[in-house]
Amino acid sequence: MSIELLIAPPAAGKTETCIQRIKTVQFSQPLSRVWVLVPDRKTAVYFRNRLAASGGWIGVMVGTYRDLYRDILERNGVFTPTLTPALEHRLVQETVDEAFECKELVHYASIKSKPGFILALQDCFAELRISYISPDRFFKYTQTSTPARHELAVLYARFVTRLQELNWIDQEGQIWLAISALEGNPQAAADIRLVVADGFSFFTAALRRFIKLLSEQAGETLITLPGVLGSNRPVHRRTRAMIEILQREFAPKVSELNSSPRLPTDSLYLEQHVLDPYEFKAQEASRPIMIEARSQSEEVREALRWIKELNKRQHLPMSACAVFASSLETYQPLLRATANEFGINIHFSHPDPLAESPAVLAVLNLLSLPQVDYQTRNLMNTLHSPYFNLGLDAKMIEDLEKVTQEASIVKGRDQWEDAWKMLEETGSDDSDDVDEDRWHEPITQGIDLATLRDAFDRFWHLFDSITQACSLAEWVTWLEELLEDLHFHEKLIGERDHEAYESLGEALKALVLSESVAGIRKIEYTHFLSDLQGTIAGARLDEPRESRKNSLLVGGMVEARAARFKTVALLGFSEGLFPEIENPDPFLDENLRRDLGMESRLQREQTSIFYQAFTRADQYILITRPYLIDDGSPWEASPYWLAAKRLFADSALVKIKADTPRAQAEAASAQELVFWGIQQNSLDYQTDHDLVTRWQAIQKAGDILNLRRSKVASGPYEGYLDQVASILAAEYSSERIWSASRLETYGTCPHEFLVSNVLKLTTKTLPELGMDAIQLGSMLHRILEKVYLDASFASDTQYLLDKLDEVTASVFQKAPFTYGFRPSPLWEVEKDQWVEKLQQTIQVLEDESQGWKPVSLEQKFGIGGTPALALNLGSETIRLHGYIDRVDKNMRGEIRVIDYKTGGANLDKAGLESGRRLQLPIYALAAQDALQLGEVVEGFYWKIGTAAASSLKLSKYKSDEDKGPEAAYRTALAQIRRILAGIRSGKFPPIPPKGGCPSYCPAAQWCWRYEAGFSI
Ligand code: SF4
């Protein structure tokens, strides 16, 4: 019948006082009911252990508030089933659908089917419930408010009404039932002799109403709160506000414990002074208690190494240690990986979301394929997934990927159908590999397309039946059969996957259950998928019980309360991590929260969380932070870090730097030991064969890295392959027929030649809409060839322009099929732009062609029976082949060669003299010597994009000794000699070309000397 508020700082004996009070009650009334309420299950275990250590706890119920509601309701004959996440998702979705059908939803209409909206509504409803705000009150408040708020109130009212119709209750609504049970029956909790609420620092409105009613029936109610009565310190602000509310609403008897907190010296000093505005003498810490590391990853390593050291050297059990981190989602993968490396058993306070399990993610990706129209990226991910047997082996999947690239399949089954047809028709094309600017070897060559297509057809049938609306139970059956068909269960990898599979099964059961509760209805596939995603989003993947045995607890900073540990490490004391950046709630905004007395989303008193966190440790405390962000710039310290730092002498802080020497005996894993050994250039454990082998291998890798970092490339790891020079000399002998493009590749960068021509590596790129540079170049060449086909009209500009219209119309129409690309939405605009550029080309070229007439277009040499160009290099003669875009003749029978280029890079003298552009002199020699078309007096590249000739013109070319075409030939021959010598002697150093590396270089994604900047 009485409420007592017991206030004391953390670790000052509040829990001990509670236990003594329980013992007193049990001593005087041995069979009386006692309830101890704590914030969570972990704290319940901790409290029970303390109770047991003090002499026993038989008859004392220790649990969360939910346990007590259930107990009260059951004792009062109220058995209301609680919503599962699946059922809740379904009801909220239904609520939204019905409101929309009744035209009550306008503001939120456009997002009504988004899974994110349904999840956000679930959170909103939950918060309204725990804030004890009835639908009526919320409705009245929003009647004259914005449409957004009003529609939220409509949805909330509909949701609660639907729950009442079904006679189910939501998780947060349980307290409403418990309150009405207490209101309706003054004896509902009268047999409880003592209620203790320990470990809380905040009570929601619903909870306060419940406690008030409970205390009117129970014998005694004892509530503890951390803090100091009358304190104005910032660390006590949150509890001070709570004490004031409880005093106002409960009129309790308030008492305070006067004992000093039983904390280790350093934590005690923090507890007494941190964040106070006045000056203190910096205290010597008993040992370093703060570590600054260069990154979050290094910070995690430092913290876990510190814990492992205490575990091994001080024999502290892992179960007595805890790590709390702000922004746990960013730290979780780092903690998991590092703990794994260090051999530390850890468990997280919150199990991972089921939706993040790789197996479940694979299923969701598979199911979402029809929704994204089988986008190639998603489709290939599914085909590569190890979780499904789709009847396709690795080679077939690789081939399918090649098909997507060759036929530019971006998405959709239609594109696949077109692709098969196109590839079958072009499969017989045996073009010669002569000009890499305009042709590449089909990557699907050699693939049995018909067999591949048949094998892949099975995949499309997986989704044959999704066009019909079905009940949830039917959809679940379909999914189960689909997974069985794909041997999903047999493909699961390890214990975690099997647990995920079981949890997925539970989620599917919950979906079926939701239908039996809320009624059967036929829904479309999209709707089913949304229900499934919503159900899975609310489900968690429990960790196996085994993993909790003697394991380190990892939790969010906000969870560092109530329970105590011997050792606690707190992570993330840098700006933006802790205190966390708070964002206002877009649905329940701050004004609404203030008006309805709800907890603010902003200024959540993270100071109090910090205060609670560092007072959790009974023996050792460590606070850490990263001091550099990813790009190497400084990361500001959090105000809490600065506040802690100013209390201690410098020796309390360790800053880890790249050159901080580490004792190898302190290494927490073999990996770390070897790494430190490399840094220090010596390994302490020379008798350990395994360690020494690893150390040597990494040292070698380090040497290679150092070589690659040196300014000038040298050695075998930089493309100097003189050991295989004899093989290369044989492979690239004078027997080979060369193309100008091949030689130019070496001239551009020898390493690019090694990667693309010797090793024949190619890059995998996802197909994109639109043409690539090769397709565009081929198309423009084809158009110009057709326009100038009838040479007799070559000087009639109007005729040529009319012809251009006719040719472009026909070429553009067939272009996607001919060149194998998918037109982008800009295709229509691009066509107009290219027509305009080609018109300019014809006009300007005609002006520059007075006295010249085309005599040959797309002239082959060394191909299809035409003579190859034999180049006498002095010590040998090599042969070349290719296509000359255009050969003109004048009245004197002299020759001019033109080579069309889409872009304008390196078409100058320097391009020739560096070996990057050799086509023009080679083609001129081919026209003159191989094809005997006449003496070449002129030649240039023609830039279609800018309708201009290149600055390099054969007639104007000058070398140190000579000028004109002959001088250009000599320069080209010198370059060809240099290139051949380089290839045959195995010299392939990576030398980024002036102006940057070409984006199409197959090494561009990983080359250590890559330089950006090149454009075609
Ligand atoms: S990325 Fe640059 S330096 Fe490296 S191989 Fe390619 S072109 Fe050469």
Decide if pLDDT at 794 tops 70.
Answer: no
Choice among 514-528, 625-639, 728-742, 800-814 with the minimum mean pLDDT: 514-528
**Confidence band (pLDDT; 50, 70, 90) for 895?**
very high
Q: Are 160 and 126 in contact (CB under 8 A)?
A: no
Q: How far apart are CA 445 and CA 357, in angstroms?
A: 38
Choice among 42-46, 176-180, 637-641 with the minimum mean pLDDT: 42-46
Tens digit of each residue's pLDDT (9 = 90 or more) over 361-418: 999 999 999 999 999 999 999 999 999 999 999 999 999 999 998 888 989 999 999 8
Q: Which of 712, 717, 749, 763 to mutate to test the pocket of ligand 1 (most atoms within 8 A of CB)?
A: 749
Other beta carbons less than 10 A from residue 953's beta carbon: 18
Q: Which atom of ligand 1 is nearest to the CA of 1009?
A: 3
Q: Which atom of ligand 1 is nearest to the CA of 754?
A: 5
User: 323 is written with which tokens?
Assistant: 């790590």
**What local confidence, expressed as pLDDT, does residue 439 receive?**
59
**What local confidence, expressed as pLDDT, does residue 131 receive?**
94
Q: How far apart are CA 341 and CA 672, in angstroms?
A: 9
Q: How far apart are CA 324 and CA 346, in angstroms?
A: 12
Q: Which atom of ligand 1 is nearest to the CA of 748?
A: 7
Determine if residue 230 is left, alpha or beta; phi over 0 gives left, psi from -120 to 50 gives alpha, anything else beta: left
**What local confidence, expressed as pLDDT, does residue 281 receive?**
84
Q: How far apart are CA 52 and CA 29, in angstroms?
A: 19
C-alpha 953 – ligand 1 centre gap (Å): 29
**Confidence band (pLDDT; 50, 70, 90) for 319?**
very high
Cβ neighbors of 230 (< 8 A, separation 6 or more) are none
C-alpha 767 – ligand 1 centre gap (Å): 23
C-alpha 999 – ligand 1 centre gap (Å): 9
Q: How far apart are CA 44 and CA 57, in angstroms?
A: 12
Q: Which of 755, 1001, 1008, 1011 to mutate to test the pocket of ligand 1 (most atoms within 8 A of CB)?
A: 1001
Decide if pLDDT at 600 tops 90.
Answer: no
C-alpha 3 – ligand 1 centre gap (Å): 77
**What local confidence, expressed as pLDDT, does residue 395 receive?**
95
C-alpha 71 – ligand 1 centre gap (Å): 72
Cβ neighbors of 459 (< 8 A, separation 6 or more) are 383, 390, 392
Q: Are 38 and 259 in contact (CB under 8 A)?
A: no
Decide if pLDDT at 326 tops 60.
Answer: yes
Q: Which atom of ligand 1 is nearest to the CA of 751?
A: 5
Q: Measured in whole angstroms, how far is the alpha carbon of residue 424 from the centre of its chain? A: 38
> How is residue 355 annotated by DSSP?
G
Decide if pLDDT at 176 tops 70.
Answer: yes
Q: How far apart are CA 623 and CA 319, in angstroms?
A: 19
Q: How far apart are CA 223 and CA 17, in angstroms?
A: 11
Would you give the end-to-end CA distance of the chain in angstroms?
85
Q: Are 983 and 734 in contact (CB under 8 A)?
A: no
Q: Are 225 and 247 in contact (CB under 8 A)?
A: no
Kindly report the length of the chain. Answer: 1016
Q: Which atom of ligand 1 is nearest to the CA of 752?
A: 5
Decide if pLDDT at 158 tops 80.
Answer: yes
C-alpha 739 – ligand 1 centre gap (Å): 21
Long-range contacts, stretch 428-432, CB < 8 angstroms, 24+ apart:
432/863, 432/864, 432/881
**What local confidence, expressed as pLDDT, does residue 433 receive?**
44
Q: Which of 711, 916, 1007, 1015 to mutate to test the pocket of ligand 1 (most atoms within 8 A of CB)?
A: 1007
Q: Are 975 and 915 in contact (CB under 8 A)?
A: yes
- Ligand 1, atom 7, lies closest to the CA of 997
Q: Which atom of ligand 1 is nearest to the CA of 1011?
A: 2
Task: Please identify which residue in the block is written with the tokens 């009835």.
Answer: 134
Decide if pLDDT at 56 tops 90.
Answer: no
Other beta carbons less than 10 A from residue 782's beta carbon: 17
Q: Which of 169, 158, 152 is nearest to 87 (CA)?
A: 169
**Confidence band (pLDDT; 50, 70, 90) for 430?**
very low
Q: How far apart are CA 737 and CA 862, in angstroms?
A: 8
Decide if pLDDT at 674 tops 80.
Answer: yes
C-alpha 916 – ligand 1 centre gap (Å): 13
**What local confidence, expressed as pLDDT, does residue 861 receive?**
95
Q: How far apart are CA 457 and CA 417, in angstroms?
A: 10
Three-state SS at 853 = strand
The mean pLDDT value for 925-936 works out to 96
Q: How far apart are CA 857 and CA 782, in angstroms?
A: 10
**What local confidence, expressed as pLDDT, does residue 703 receive?**
87
Give me the residues paired with residue 648 across strands: 283
Q: Which of 27, 105, 93 is nearest to 60 (CA)?
A: 27
Q: How far apart are CA 966 and CA 970, in angstroms?
A: 6
Q: Average model confidence (pLDDT) for the chain?
A: 91
Q: How far is CA 402 from CA 304, 423, 965, in A?
A: 45, 11, 43
Decide if pLDDT at 348 tops 80.
Answer: yes
C-alpha 710 – ligand 1 centre gap (Å): 16
Burial of 1 (0-12, 13-18, 19+ CB in 10 A): exposed
**What local confidence, expressed as pLDDT, does residue 709 receive?**
86
Three-state SS at 621 = strand
Phi, psi for residue 770 in degrees, rounded to 5: 95, 175
C-alpha 753 – ligand 1 centre gap (Å): 9
Three-state SS at 738 = strand
Decide if pLDDT at 495 tops 60.
Answer: yes
CA dihedral 12, 15, 21, 26 (to 10 degrees): -150
The mean pLDDT value for 5-26 works out to 93
DSSP-assigned states of every residue in 955-993 = GG-B-SS-BSHHHHHHHHHHHHHHHHHHHHTTB----PP
Q: Which atom of ligand 1 is nearest to the CA of 1008?
A: 4
Please work out, in degrees rounded to the nearest 5, the angle formed at the alpha carbon of residue 803 by the alpha carbons of 801 and 804. Answer: 60
* Residue bearing the bigger pLDDT, 999 or 101: 101
Q: How far apart are CA 373 and CA 113, in angstroms?
A: 18
**Confidence band (pLDDT; 50, 70, 90) for 432?**
very low
Ligand 1-lining residues (CB < 6 angstroms)? 749, 751-752, 990, 992, 997, 1001, 1003-1004, 1007, 1009-1010
Q: Are 159 and 95 in contact (CB under 8 A)?
A: yes
Cβ neighbors of 576 (< 8 A, separation 6 or more) are none
**What local confidence, expressed as pLDDT, does residue 442 receive?**
73
Share of the chain above pLDDT 70, in %: 97
Helices (H) and strands (E) in the chain, counts: 36, 22
User: 1009 is written with which tokens?
Assistant: 């000397």
Q: Which atom of ligand 1 is nearest to the CA of 993?
A: 7
Sheet holding 565-571, edge to edge: 346-348, 552-556, 321-325, 565-571, 617-626, 290-293, 653-655
C-alpha 915 – ligand 1 centre gap (Å): 15
**What local confidence, expressed as pLDDT, does residue 769 receive?**
85
* Residue bearing the bigger pLDDT, 608 or 650: 650
User: 998 is written with which tokens?
Assistant: 């070409």
The mean pLDDT value for 576-594 works out to 89
C-alpha 997 – ligand 1 centre gap (Å): 6
Give me the residues paired with residue 712 across strands: none
User: 710 is written with which tokens?
Assistant: 């040196």
Q: How far apart are CA 413 and CA 374, in angstroms?
A: 7
Q: Which atom of ligand 1 is nearest to the CA of 991?
A: 3
C-alpha 982 – ligand 1 centre gap (Å): 16
Decide if pLDDT at 1015 tops 70.
Answer: no
